[in-house]
Structure 1
Amino acid sequence: MTEHAGQDVCAVVVSYHPDPIALWKMITAVAAQVGAVVLVDNGSRGEWQSTLAATLHGAGGALLAQTDNVGLASAQNIGIGWAREHGYQQVLLLDQDSEPGEGMVAALQLALATLSVSGRVAAVGPRFHDVREDRDAPFVRVGFPLNRKLWCDGSAPTVACDFLISSGMLIPMIVLDQIGPMDAGLFIDNVDLEWGFRARAQGYSLHGVCAATMHHRLGDARRALPCGLGQVVVHGPSRLYYMMRNRVRLYQLPHTPGRWIAQDLPRVLVKLLLFGVLIGPRWRNLRCMLRGLFDGVRGRQGEAPVDLLD
């Protein structure tokens, strides 16, 4: 790879039964901006792996193929471990359904360096756009009774926030050494939220960077609500299990802000209504959500029970 500002950055990409063409396109886009790309694949199979492994290895990266699905958090930790062993100072976390914009990493690095002069910065992240939405997603400050949505409106180059989605996060390795790895027990869902809360509790800040852009798909689909009430992001039943179980897990952690817990509790009822009554498969959705709440209270971690997997 040619010399550029991102040479000290290792991109950690996590995949799970990806579209090989889309994955190749995304890795090609980010490879031009970083020093190496390590792909941690969660139990996929396909001829694409051998070709991609050779390409990544030739560019100084690697394909770390897992025999089974170890979960998003564990896969991220595996990739971070590889980056640490190979001397990279920063890691860029990416999902398979993200597409970094041109110059994204350079913009993130510049903002991180600037912000770190006057404070302890845990991570920075890009503003992202879901092609199914009509505007970029906002950054968020936790509030009560509602969160504050903060948009890139030209008034400032960065936006201080309470959490960032994991895809697109640029994190210094020294910060990971202080705050700790992603919570593998969560498996998937709320992994970024938990890590952000942990970082904030330790006195670190997080910032969205308006000059850094990324396309990212949230959820499996969009469904229209009755009576013209708009659209809702739809997830599969097993994903709803993790969402419910892991939010209960966050309620129990000392670094989770009380105001977030207070304004999240009503969302539990809303999700039960939406996906257990209005949006199908209703019975399977409801069963998975209730089991998630029950397992969260019991303290279950890791992969969902086999009978709940999609």
Structure 2
Amino acid sequence: MTAESAALRRQDVYAVVVTYRPELPLLEEAIDAVLPQVGRLLVFDNATADPQYTAWLGQAEARGRFEVLRSPANVGLGAAINQAWQRARAGGFRHLLLLDQDSVADPAMVATLHDALARLRRERPVAAVGPAFHDARDGSAAPFVRIGFPLNRKLHGAPGQCIECDFLITSGSLLPLDVLERIGGMDAGLFIDNVDLEWSFRARSRGHALYGVCDAGMCHRIGDRLRPVPGLRNPVQIHGPVRLYYMMRNRVLLYRRAHVPRTWVAQDVPRLLLKLAGMGLFVSPRLANLRAMLRGIAHGIAGRDGPMPG
């Protein structure tokens, strides 16, 4: 890889980091890691009411390190990504890189994704590529997933491999803007959880593949905290009541969509029931968790989307 070719790849990538009440040291690490790898970076803040963070954003913006877009209200992940897409298009960029506020890219992640995407697109339509990632807290490596019944296939791959998968998580995904034009942007009504799942399913239903790129790496956190469970190799991801509401509501909303694989629905319904029992009976705050999940299920059945009421 020559310095000139690396610079050309970097210049056509527009990155967005969507923030909401971030841990500032971790966000700074994430930004420092990706900034040298992309042509432009947008920090889209979803109405974080933290004077220290607001002051930090203002100082960074004044120095011109990156673009800042402060939303007066929390519009959710999907709407934030869609606004970044429009800015990328207006700026003449060809690719959009999505990042969470706690995702730290390896030094060559973007170039590796970019090269793999270009190579794969010469063979077939590809909607997006994403990196292999591990959890910063316990070092556990997340697999790429092929949906099956009753169990999914979880694939880790090896160096040099690109693994076709059925969905990619939002963070770390590199999307060509021409694919977004054909498939459409994120479903803003889902607000946060399963935004990536819905878009992945929609892309695959329209003949586009998704690939995990094993040589591209990223450090990421899933869940508010991890909890070891006897008999399980990896700890369980724990979320608070608000996230549990969206998880339950949005999966129910997806069950009725035509482009969502029936195989996923069949194996997700038992998962919904297990999560309802586990988080409602064994994880504190049990009553708040149970109420939020039941409310989410009810709103999903009613077809209600958007931000959580109240």
Match status 1:49 vs 2:57: yes
TM-score (norm 1): 0.94
Q: Determine helix, strand or coil for the equivalent of 2:42.
A: strand
Alpha-carbon separation, structure 1, partners of 2:125 and 2:231: 45
Query: How does 1:260-271 map onto structure 2 within 5 Å?
Result: 260-271=264-275
Give the letter aligned to residue 170 of structure 2. Answer: S
Give the structure 1 partner of residue 182 of structure 2.
178
Q: Determine helix, strand or coil for the equivalent of 1:152.
A: coil
Alpha carbon RMSD of aligned pairs, Å?
1.4
Alpha-carbon separation, structure 1, partners of 2:126 and 2:166: 12
> Which consecutive segments of 4 or more residues in structure 1 shift more than 3 A?
227-230
Deviations 1:87-117 (A, max 9, x none): 1100000000100001000000010011001
- Percent same amino acid at aligned positions? 52
Shift of 1:228: 5.0
Shift of 1:223: 1.7
- Structure 2's unaligned 5+ residue stretches are none
Give the structure 2 partner of residue 75 of structure 1.
80
Give the letter aligned to residue 15 of structure 1. Answer: T
- The answer (yes or no) to whether the contact 1:190–1:247 under 8 Å persists in 2 is yes
Give the structure 2 partner of residue 21 of structure 1.
25
Give the structure 2 partner of residue 35 of structure 1.
39
Cα 1:228–1:211 shift into 2, 3 Å: closer
- Structure 1's unaligned 5+ residue stretches are none
TM-score (norm 2): 0.94
Give the structure 2 partner of residue 90 of structure 1.
95
Deviations 1:279-304 (A, max 9, x none): 11111100000000000010111100
Alpha-carbon separation, structure 1, partners of 2:143 and 2:23: 27
Cα 1:272–1:152 shift into 2, 3 Å: same
Alpha-carbon separation, structure 1, partners of 2:94 and 2:185: 15
Q: Paired residue for 2:124, among 100, 115, 119?
A: 119
Cα 1:132–1:21 shift into 2, 3 Å: closer
Shift of 1:160: 0.3
Match status 1:168 vs 2:176: no
Deviations 1:22-63 (A, max 9, x none): 2222112111001000111000142112012223xx35x410
Q: Determine helix, strand or coil for the equivalent of 2:276.
A: helix
Cα 1:23–1:132 shift into 2, 3 Å: closer
Query: How does 1:1-310 map onto structure 2 within 5 Å?
Result: 3-45=7-49, 46-55=54-63, 58-59=64-65, 61-154=66-159, 157-225=161-229, 227=230, 229=232, 231-306=235-310
Deviations 1:199-224 (A, max 9, x none): 00000000000110000000000123
Deviations 1:186-210 (A, max 9, x none): 0010000000000000000000001
Q: How many residues end up aligned between the 2 structures?
A: 300
